[in-house]
Structure 1
Amino acid sequence: MRQPDRHSNQPLYQQIADDIERRISYGEFPPGSLLPSERKLAEQLGVNRSTVILAYAELRALGIVESRTGSGTRVSKYKWGATPKHTPNWHRYVEGGSFLPNLPFLRRVREALQQDNTLIDFASGELGADISPVKEINTLMDENHYTAYLGYADPQGFGPLREALVTYLSQYRGIQTTESSILITSGSQQSLYLITQCLLAPGDAVAIEDPSYCYSLPIFQSAGLRLFRLPVDAKGIRPEDVRSLYKKHRIKMVFVNPNYQNPTGIALDAGRRIELLDVASELGLPIVEDDPFSLTAYNGMPPQPLKSMDPIGSVLYIGSFSKIAASGLRVGWMVAPHSVVDRLADARQQMDFGLSVVPQQVAAQFLKSPYVQPHLERLRMHLLYKRDLLISALRQELPDLVSFSIPQGGLHLWCKIIPEVSDNKLFEEAIRHGVIFVPGSVYGSDSGYVRFTFARPKTDEIVPGIAKFAAALRAVLAQSN
């Protein structure tokens, strides 16, 4: 038998089951033949007997083997007649696809929130119901009669929404564009997916911030891209690092989140913005600017986007309603050269024939309504209040155990745990105490960082949530002493 790989993400029992199933299919163990006993196989492979028991149970569930008390475990001979027939080994298919699953921590976040709706949620990167424009959107839906014909939408996006975005981007972001240069997407994440799949090739090198939300997206690895880091300091990335990576690795594209970066909350320094555009122009290097948070600027003066300073078209600009209005609409957009929009719209048509027209109509009506500016002002006020509650609670509960820089916009607070601590132990202990967050290692950082999202929890949950986190942290530190 082949020794299981203890460094693999696949459980040991599943590796053993797959190996036995493969040997059976090759004829090494013919129908009716006796397999090694659980104890003998466990000794042979150097694993616990319970691991072999799980492997045999998996094979029994597939109908591949049969076990009888006193007779051991044999390859099935009769269950499907004289010629053995097997259910497809779906585990092998699931593990073998090229599109990678979410990171284990993120899958655990989803699982924990589904299992316990009382958890105080500092993990989900979206607005809570208390600060979303729910009333305004419901009013618009009541007042407007949307199309009666629900056929396939334009794969580039609903025309009136793209027209409304031309005005919105000019007014709020200083970006001058036309509807033919806008692609509507199912949130900003689909924009990133289309870029990685359609504009880059396996083996291409790209630069992303460190830490970065991009590290939490397996779409980059699924596309076969090589990722190189741009360290983020108090002023954001250093443009000279882009030039260095280009010389060393011939990077093909740079991905940045310059305004209240996820997860650090840093805004890229104004001088560095100009320098970054100069470097990109010099090297002919595209920049993908993901800008979901800029309109949350607490002082009402959002930083200038790179796209508004880009005279030669180096920047692909990505935006979304998710972080400023309603994530459930799943409406995002990309501003790009028309040739790029055509290419990505064609890919979109192959995927889903275009985003549903109904949420696009709702988004278009919202953008053209008088509700936008008042909503943004309330949103900033509420986010600032929640941020200050979070900071006050951390200073009260953990004055000597955490450090952080105070963001001036966005939804997140990036914290460093001062004592050395295991991400996994702290994460699981926090769940046991009734609170959940995202460990910093998800975003490429070393162990010991935490991202708190303060937009999702209700105002009266923030202080109790940090108290629960503090209790969990102290419990983990006590265990390690």
Structure 2
Amino acid sequence: MFPYKTSIQFDRKSNQALYLQLSNQIIQLIKNQTLGANTKLPGSRTLAEQLNVHRKTIVACYDELLLQGWVESIPKKGTFVLSNLPVLKQHKLSDFGDVDLKKNSGFSFYKNSDLPEKPVKRDEDFMYLNDGISDGRLTPIDEIARTYRRISAKRSVFKHLSYGSVYGNDTLREVLVSYLNTTRGLNINKDNVLLTRGSQMGIWLSSQLLLKKDDIIVVGNTNYESADCTFLYQQAKLETVLVDENGIVTDEIEKLCKKQQIKAVYVTTHHHHPTTVTLSAKRRIHLLNLSKQYGFAIIEDDYDYDFNYNHAPILPLASHDTNGHVIYIGSVCKTVAPVYRIGYLIASKAFVDEAAKLRGFIDRQGDALLELTFADFIKSGDLDRHIRKVMKIYKQRRDLFCKLLKDEIGDFFQFEIPIGGMAVWVKLHPEYSWFTIAEVAKKYKLEIGNWQRYDRAKSSHNCIRIGFAAYNENEIYELINRLKKTIIEIKN
């Protein structure tokens, strides 16, 4: 009898064939040295009877083991575990104590403390503050799905299923040229457009091409954490300048330029992240003039251009750039839903060409079918209709959120009602700490999150960014209620 019969278990409900289940288990017995080198395996008929399977299953199993190089077949003698098989050196579990081998590597690798951890698990009964994301429930999923199915059903779709351009789908690039020239006042052609998987990829590609160790990039204080981390990952030096009610202070940038060579400036001109303020016209022109005079690049992250409640959107810096200094980055992820990873990087042809080469190594190409879907979604006017719809809803949510925040717990917070975007920049009364609020809020199933990311410079401004767009009216009432309970407990 096969001495390890009791070690063999079959799952007859599994989609995996029985011969593969058996071969995998025999391989495991060989790896852990239960079956040593030169061990003779039972004949196919004998093992089939012992394991209560068809003989063809055993024959197929042995063929699989032979094909993978675990056994050898010797004519007129039988099937044997390979004689020259190296012994797999393994640690005993006791060598690691309580360490979970599935979580820990047996090799060293580089870690980077500048890259923050992202939350991976969320409890359904908790409410989580966000820093301004769209409401996925408002996504026109039916329209997008219909368009995707229609495009996928075309006979010509097969040419889009193979490798394509590292620049992204040509149709969407052409549609974006028309759309951005019309809505953003740009003056570009297809050669100026590189499709990305969202704004963050655009920032990363730009940093790779612009920055090396000790190169200087200017950012606002405070600034978008993911951008800061991207630049630090390049070992660049971050010079921070003040951000006030008119946006990043360009006079401070000019002073820096007179002292040292600046390689780039990163700005969110429309709604500064995180404070939501808009860069004034005077400072926009000043920044463009500085870039020409001192030869630095401007990375303009226009992450939520479409959401303006009090006036028409302000044209980006890129629309006024006549010297090729602006790298304009945007996406439809924020506008429609984060899951649709469609973004763009707009710059000179020379820069786009180099960025496309680099993009080809980390993401060979985009999702051509999804990009064709969004080309149709934009060209048909569905995107503009969606924007008009959610604008009304988000404005109502902004007004309700700000009203409740002021009426219910206004003694503890200072804020300005944002003219656009999907979040409010909230300053806590100096007598209290976000650390305490974050701890107490958990009692009321409210997760404040990593509030420290808003003050990487450790200036103790006591502010965080709170999004409102992703919550419906009932959820806004509940969020403010949980925050109010938290504040009352701390106060008492």
Task: Please give the range of the TM-score, normalised by the shorter of the 2 chains.
Answer: 0.7 to 0.9
User: Counterpart of 2:410?
Assistant: 399
Are 1:145 and 2:156 matched, yes or no? no
User: Counterpart of 2:95?
Assistant: 64
| Ranges in structure 1 where 5+ consecutive residues have no aligned partner | 1-59, 68-85
**Equivalences for residues 40-439 of structure 1 within 5 A:** 63-64=94-95, 90=105, 93=108, 96-97=110-111, 99-100=112-113, 102-103=115-116, 107=118, 110-111=119-120, 114-123=121-130, 125-145=132-152, 147-148=157-158, 149-214=160-225, 217-299=228-310, 301-438=312-449
Letter in 2 for 1:183: L
Displacement of 1:215 = 5.7
Letter in 1 for 2:481: A
Distance change in 2, residues 1:476/1:225 (3 Å) = farther
Residue 471 of structure 2: which of 443, 457, 480 is its match?
457
Residue 483 of structure 2: which of 463, 469, 472 is its match?
469
Displacement of 1:88 = 11
Structure having the higher Rg = 2
What per-residue deviation string (whole Å, max 9, x for no partner) do you get for residues 124-180 of structure 1? Answer: 642112333333323322443362342223111110010000011011111110111
Please, what is the CA RMSD of the aligned residues?
2.5
CA distance in 1, matches of 2:102, 2:338: 40
What per-residue deviation string (whole Å, max 9, x for no partner) do you get for residues 178-229 of structure 1? Answer: 1111110110001111111222111111111111114675222211111111
SS of aligned partner of 2:220: strand
Displacement of 1:262 = 1.7
SS of aligned partner of 2:344: strand
Letter in 1 for 2:108: Y
CA distance in 2, matches of 1:87, 1:321: 37
8 Å CA contact 1:124, 1:456 repeated in 2: no
- Given the two structures, how large is their TM-score scaled by the length of structure 2? 0.74
SS of aligned partner of 2:425: strand
What per-residue deviation string (whole Å, max 9, x for no partner) do you get for residues 262-283 of structure 1? Answer: 2111111111111111111111
SS of aligned partner of 1:329: coil
User: Counterpart of 1:9?
Assistant: none
SS of aligned partner of 1:115: coil
Aligned residues: 393
* Sequence identity percentage: 28
| Ranges in structure 2 where 5+ consecutive residues have no aligned partner | 1-90
CA distance in 2, matches of 1:141, 1:463: 37
SS of aligned partner of 2:452: helix
CA distance in 1, matches of 2:417, 2:385: 25
Letter in 2 for 1:421: Y
